[in-house]
Amino acid sequence: MTSNLQSYRKAVRWGAVLLFFGVPFMRLNGESLLRFDIASLRFFFFGKAIWIEDFFLILLFIFALTFLFISVTQVFGRVWCGWLCPQTLMVDFTRKMDRKKQTILSRMEGHTFTAVFSVLISACMIWYFISPYEFIKDLAHLELSRTAAGFWIVLSVITYINFAFFRHGFCTTVCPYAKLQGIMFDAHTMAITMYPDRRDECINCLACVKTCPTGIDIRKGFSQGCINCAECAQACGKVMAKKGKTSLIGYVYGLEDKPKFFRANVLITAGLFLIFTVLFTLRLLFSDPFAFEVYPASKSMPREQEGRIINGFEVRLTNRTGSDVTVSLSVEEAEGWDIQPERTFDLASGESVRKEIYIVLPEEAFGKYPVRTFSLKAETQGEHPASVFAEAGFRKPIGRKK
């Protein structure tokens, strides 16, 4: 197993890179699979659009991800760092920079590769906020906005400095996750360790130390800088293979090396992950296709005309679907109503309108009450019909209590 670890890591690394560059290009229902669109302040998630007004939904998603991250760390330690973290992946791809003895030419080659890589990665990061189709088209026509171009340049420079100079120093100094891991680990968490009962077999060849990207001597025990990449385990495995033995270093679950997945702290965080995932999914699946809000019009007083009561309202409608819709308004639980000057509104995808309307009700609709609440319905017809309701308070003019 230890001898194959780096092959598995390589496969995972390529898979992660393909996903990272591929996801912005993937579309579902005509929109990005996963993108926070800066221009319209919408978060696209697997064919659904989440509006900034529904920010709590994005918060639910962030909470779910956070608890998933914590529960995985409690069980598998810093497996994220060694196998999936973009920092580790990109540093692995630019390993040429780590060579001690290099000619000026190979040094320049390493820096050029890192610079090109940084520009590409930075563009990909921006594609999670600006559609890559628009970005590439604008770039080809030299029409990229100043903001996008500015971000791209700044991000490229930061990424280049990070990969060319900080490298794994970032993990040991800046990365907040590395600092927090201490509170997530317990006595059963998996970590790269030298098997305690095989310490005597070490021949002190230092192959494990020389190969470590963060310069750790894992034989001295657990280190906060260890990213669980298992390169030391593989290096030791090669040395020990010559003696017909297996690696002295490997992934170990706690002091007894017994995996124990069902423990209180893991169950709590995994449970919270499930709760937030279910809440997020349900809310996403059953979210309203358009926002509909009704407020009493501030400048309009209720009035009476030929036995009918007129109340002014301000309605706000936002089309959250991916297509253009026509929304019609109606009054529920009342007969003989009318809406003026218009009761249907055409809304393009993503469009918001704010309109003043007058709702006319026959006096009998109030019964014996001077004030009544009615439900207003906003509905769309067509391929995906939908209805959204809002409550509106109606009043008779003052002095007309009966």
Residues binding ligand SF4 (CB under 6 A): 192, 194, 202-208, 212-214, 216, 218-219, 226-232, 235-236, 239, 248-249
**Residue 169 Cβ vs ligand SF4, minimum distance, rounded to whole Å:** 13
Rounded to an integer, what distance in angstroms lies between the CA atom of residue 192 and that of residue 330?
Answer: 66
Residues 6+ apart with CB under 8 A from 317: 290, 291, 292, 327, 345, 347, 352, 353, 355, 378
Shortest reach from residue 145's CB to ligand SF4, in Å: 41
Q: How far is the CB of 226 from ligand SF4 (least distance, A)?
A: 3
Minimum CB distance to ligand SF4 smaller for 64 or for 226? 226
Parallel, antiparallel, or unpaired: how do β-strands 386-395 and 249-253 relate?
unpaired
**In the complex, least distance from residue 240 CB atom to ligand SF4, rounded to whole angstroms:** 6
Residue (208 or 357) nearer to ligand SF4, CB: 208
Question: How many CB atoms are located within 10 Å of the residue 122 CB?
Answer: 20
Cβ proximity to ligand SF4, 123 vs 190, nearer residue: 190
Nearest partner of 2 among 188, 187, 171, 198, judged by Cα: 198
Least separation in angstroms between CB 324 and ligand SF4:
54
- The answer to whether residues 91 and 213 touch, using CB atoms and an 8 Å cutoff, is yes
Cβ closest to ligand SF4, residue 144 vs residue 236: 236
Pairing of strands 48-51, 42-45: antiparallel
Torsion angles phi and psi, residue 397, rounded to 5:
-60, 150
218 vs 357, beta carbon nearer ligand SF4:
218
The nearer residue to ligand SF4, 235 or 327, going by C-beta atoms, is: 235
Q: How far is the CB of 171 from ligand SF4 (least distance, A)?
A: 9
In contact, 310 and 358? CB cutoff 8 Å: yes
